[in-house]
Every structure is written in C-alpha cells, then in structure tokens.
C-alpha cells in the first residue's frame, strides 16, 4: 500500500488515492487496507483527505520513509523474540534474560534485520524503467538498484 502511495509522489506531495483504487491495483480486499491505514496514519506516515478528490497520501517524501519505520508502525518492534526487543521494558519481560545463552544471537538477528530495513526506503521500491528490484549488500547496508 505504501509503495502505491509512493508511486503517486509528484515531487512535492502525493496525489491522494482512495483505498478502493489501491485495493484494485494490488488485488487486496479493501477491508484489509482499512486495517493497515490506521496505524500508518497514527505513525504519521500517511495523511487522509476527505471529499470527492480525497483519499490517502504520504506525509513525507518516499525517500524519507524507511521500511523499518513502516514495519514498526504496522507490526511493532522488529525483534524476533521478546528478549531482543528494542524496547527495554519488553526485553526485561523475559525471565531467562540473564541466564539465556542465545539472547546475543537474537539481538544480532534483530540488528541485521533492522539494518536492512533501515537501508531501504519507499523510493527504493518504486518501479522505474531499467530497475526491477532492490538488492541489499549486507556488508555496506546500502540499497543498490539493479
């Protein structure tokens, strides 16, 4: 859905699009998109406009919205396990934290996933002629158009 909004970015703002249009373009149920739009709007990634030409639009340029921000808005912390949560209160909820031998692994997994998601913006995911996908070099953590 966010990529659809990013496709409509004209340089200064996004042209509002209805959920019905996005649902048709993405072959997704409108009811599903209605559930997604709420946390995206609450996180400040999406603006809504009422009226005949209303709809939803990005609140910031696509190059400024990372996939990590989007996923955090939709899913919460990126941690694969509660003990590796970015939120210290969540991490402390694990009763085995001090005695766990794999906590460090989960923190590394969280950081690796977060690094990749932080390096990819919505702009990187907008299809352009001659570019079909975004490849991530995990050593540099850069998005490299292919």
pTM reported for the whole predicted model: 0.78
pLDDT of 146 reads: 41
Enumerate residues 6+ apart whose C-beta is below 8 A from 28. Answer: 1, 22
Alpha carbons 139 and 54: distance in angstroms, whole number: 43
Q: Which residues pair with 131 in a beta bridge?
A: 128
Alpha carbons 146 and 143: distance in angstroms, whole number: 9
| Rounded (10°) angle between helices 30-42 and 67-75 | 110
pLDDT of 128 reads: 74
| pLDDT category of residue 145 using cuts at 50, 70 and 90 | very low
Map out the domains of the chain with their CATH numbers: 1-64 (1.10.10.10), 66-146 (no CATH)
Cβ atoms < 10 Å from Cβ of 26: 13
pLDDT, tens digit, for every residue of 20-54?
Answer: 999 999 999 999 999 999 999 999 999 998 888 88
Which position has the higher pLDDT, 133 or 113? 113
Cβ atoms < 10 Å from Cβ of 122: 25
């Amino acid at each position: 859905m966010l990529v659809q909004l990013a496709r409509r970015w004209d340089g200064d703002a996004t042209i509002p699009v209805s959920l019905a249009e996005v649902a048709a373009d993405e072959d997704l149920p409108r009811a599903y998109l209605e559930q997604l739009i709420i946390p995206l709007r609450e996180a400040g990634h999406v603006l809504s406009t009422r009226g005949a030409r209303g709809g939803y639009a990005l609140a910031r340029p696509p190059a400024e919205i990372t996939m990590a921000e989007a996923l955090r808005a939709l899913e919460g912390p990126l941690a694969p396990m509660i003990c590796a949560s970015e939120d210290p209160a969540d991490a402390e909820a694990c009763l085995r934290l001090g005695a766990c031998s794999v906590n460090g692994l989960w923190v590394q997994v969280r950081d690796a996933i977060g690094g990749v998601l932080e390096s990819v913006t919505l702009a990187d995911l907008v299809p352009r002629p001659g570019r079909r996908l975004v490849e991530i070099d995990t050593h540099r953590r850069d998005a490299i158009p292919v």
